[in-house]
Amino acid sequence: MSHPTTTDRIRIFDTSLRDGEQSPGFTMSASQKIAFAHALAELGVDVIEAGFPNSSPADFGAVQAIAREVRGASIAALARCHPGDIEACARALDGAAAPRIHAFISTSPLHRKHKLNMSREQVIEHASMGVTLARNRVDDVEFSAEDAFRTEREFLVEVFDAAVAAGARTLNVPDTVGYATPAEIRALFEYLRANVKGADGVVFSAHCHNDLGLAVANSLAAIEGGARQVECTINGIGERAGNAALEELVMAMKVRPGYFNADTGIDTTRLLETSRLLSRITGIQVQRNKAIVGLNAFAHESGIHQHGMLKHRDTYEIMRPQDVGWPDSQIVLGRHSGRAAVADRLRQLGYVLEDEQLDQVIAAAKALTQTQHIIHDADLQRLVEGERYGPGW
Ligand code: KIV
Ligand code: ZN
C-alpha cells in the first residue's frame, strides 16, 4: 500500500442481486430482490448492483422497483457496451436517487477472440461508446474490463484511458475466472494507478471470483495496491465458486485496523441477519465452518480451547460475536470437551456440585457422546436431577 496513515474509505459494492443472483440455485423473485435490497441498504453498503435490466423483463422490473424504493445506497445496473443495454439501464434506473450504470466489455485475448470476435481497436471503440452513452444518461458511470486480470497490461491501460476520457468515474478490474494470486493482483493495481491517465480522479475497484478460494485475499491485496472499491456478495454467492464474501472482507478490515487503515461504513452488527435473510430467500445455507456467519464461527468444543476461552476469550477469538450479530460465543459440549467447560455449563444451569458428584456427572455426560455428538443442557439437567442416578442426588 498504500498502508495510509489516515483512514481510507473503502466503498462496498454489493453484487448479490446481480452476480450472485445469476448463479445456479440463487434465482430470486422481484419481491425477494426488493426485500434484500432494503436489507443491504440498512447494512450500509455504498452501491447495490440490482441486476442486468436488458437480460429479461423480470430483471428489468426488479431493478426498476429497487431504484424507485430503496434509498441510502447508489443503485447500479449492468450493461454490455451496447446501446440497447445502456438504454434499458437508464430506463430501469429512472426513479433512483443515485443511479449508476455499470458498463462492461471483455478485454482479454481469449475473450476478444472466442467470445467477441473483436480486434483491440474495436474493443476500445465499444468501451468508449458504451461509457459515452451511459454518461449521456447518468453522472455516475462505472466501467469494467471483463477478464481484466488475463488481459495484456498495456492494452488494459489503453482501454481504461478510453473509459476515463469518455467519463467513467470508477474503473473495475475483474478477476473474472478467479485466477489471480494476491501478490499479482496487488501489483496490477499499482501498475494501473501509475499508468492510467487521470488515475487520480477515478476510483479503482476490485471484483474477485473465488475459483481458487482466493477472492477475499485477492480483494484485500487489491486494496493494498490502491483499490478503493471492492465488489462482493453476502455469503460469497456468485458465478461458479462465487465472489468475494462481503462479511469476510469487511471484518478483515475491521479486525486489522492497523494493517488496512480502512473504513467501510458497514454496520457489522447486521452481518448475521443479512446472511440469514439471504439463506432464507434462496433456501441455501452457508457451511457450518463459514467465517463470520457459519454456525461454528464462534463455537468451541475442544477441551483446551474451552478452557482457554473460559479464562480469557481472546485466547481463541479475534473478534466479538456481538460485533457481527451473534448474541454470544457458544461453548459446545461434546466428546472433546473437558471438565472445566462441563463444570462451567453446570454452574450456568444453576448446579454447583461437590467434586465427587461433578465427576460422576461428567463421566455420565461423556458416555452420552458415544451415541450423540452434542451434550445438551437438557442432558446435563437430566443427569444431575437424577433421572439416571435415581432420586438420591
Ligand atoms: O466477473 C466479471 O467479470 C463480472 C463483470 C461483468 C463485472 O461480473
Ligand atoms: Zn463477476
Task: Say if ligand 1 is within 6 A of residue 146 CB.
Answer: yes
Residues 318-342: tens digit of each pLDDT: 999 999 999 999 999 999 999 999 9
pLDDT of amino acid 393:
44
Ligand nearest to the CA of 239: 2
Residue 71 in grid coordinates: 434509498
- Predicted complex ipTM: 0.99
- Cα–Cα distance, 223 to 217 (Å, whole number): 10
Mean pLDDT is lowest, of 71-75, 240-244, 343-347, for 343-347
Atom of ligand 1 nearest to the CA of 15: 8
Grid coordinates representing 362 are 461428567
3-state SS of 85-106? HHHHHHHHCCCCCCEEEEEEEE
SS3 70: coil
Is residue 38 part of an annotated ligand binding site? no
Q: Which of 107, 158, 87, 167 is nearest to 131 (CA)?
A: 167
- Indicate the range of 28-37, 80-89, 215-224, 256-265 predicted with least confidence: 256-265
CA–CA separation, 301 vs 63, rounded Å? 45
Contact 217, 209 (CB under 8 A): no
Mean pLDDT value of segment 195-202: 97
**Burial of residue 174, with CB atoms counted within 10 A of its CB: 0-12 exposed, 13-18 middle, 19 or more buried:** buried
Of the given ranges (74-78, 206-210, 330-334), which has the lowest mean pLDDT? 330-334
- State how far the Cα of 266 lies from the Cα of 274, in Å rounded to an integer: 12
Mutation test residue for ligand 1: of 176, 232, 237, the one with most atoms within 8 Å of CB = 176
pLDDT in tens, 293-327: 999 999 998 989 999 999 999 999 999 999 999 99
Tell me the mean pLDDT in the region 387-393. 52
Please say whether the dihedral angle defined by the alpha carbons of residues 149, 44, 235 and 80, taken in this order, is positive or negative: negative
The pLDDT value recorded for residue 3 is 56
**Residue 97: pLDDT above 80?**
yes
pLDDT > 70? residue 57:
yes
**pLDDT tens profile 345-377:** 999 999 999 999 999 999 999 999 999 999 999
**Which residue in the block uniquely carries the three cell numbers 432420586?**
391
Note the Cα 54 to chain centre separation in Å. Answer: 25
Cell of 272: 448475521
Mean pLDDT of 96-107: 98
Average pLDDT score, the chain: 95
Q: What is the pLDDT of residue 83?
A: 98
Atom index in ligand 1 nearest the CA of residue 148 equals 3
Do residues 319 and 254 lie in contact, with contact meaning Cβ atoms separated by under 8 Å? yes
- Determine which residue's CA is closest to atom 2 belonging to ligand 1: 176
pTM of the model: 0.94
Which of the given ranges, 3-7, 141-145, 357-361, has the highest pLDDT on average?
A: 141-145
How deeply is 26 buried, as exposed, middle or buried, from its count of CB atoms within 10 A (0-12, 13-18, 19+)?
buried
Q: Which ligand is nearest to the CA of 149?
A: 1
For 45, phi and psi rounded to 5 degrees? -65, 155
pLDDT of residue 386: 77
* Residue 28 pLDDT exceeds 80: yes
Percent of the chain with pLDDT over 70: 97
Model confidence band, residue 217 (pLDDT cutoffs 50, 70, 90) = very high
Ligand nearest to the CA of 147: 1
For ligand 1, pick from 80, 85, 104 the residue to mutate: most ligand atoms within 8 Å of CB: 104
Q: Is 80 in the pocket of ligand 1 (CB under 6 A)?
A: no
Nearest-angstrom CA–CA distance, 119 and 207: 24
Tell how far the Cα of 305 is from the centroid of ligand 2, in angstroms: 39
pLDDT higher than 90, residue 252? yes
Ligand 1 in contact with 144 (CB < 6 A)?
A: yes
**Ligand 1 site, residue 143, Cβ cutoff 6 A:** no
Q: In the chain, helix, strand, coil percent, each to 5?
A: 50, 15, 35
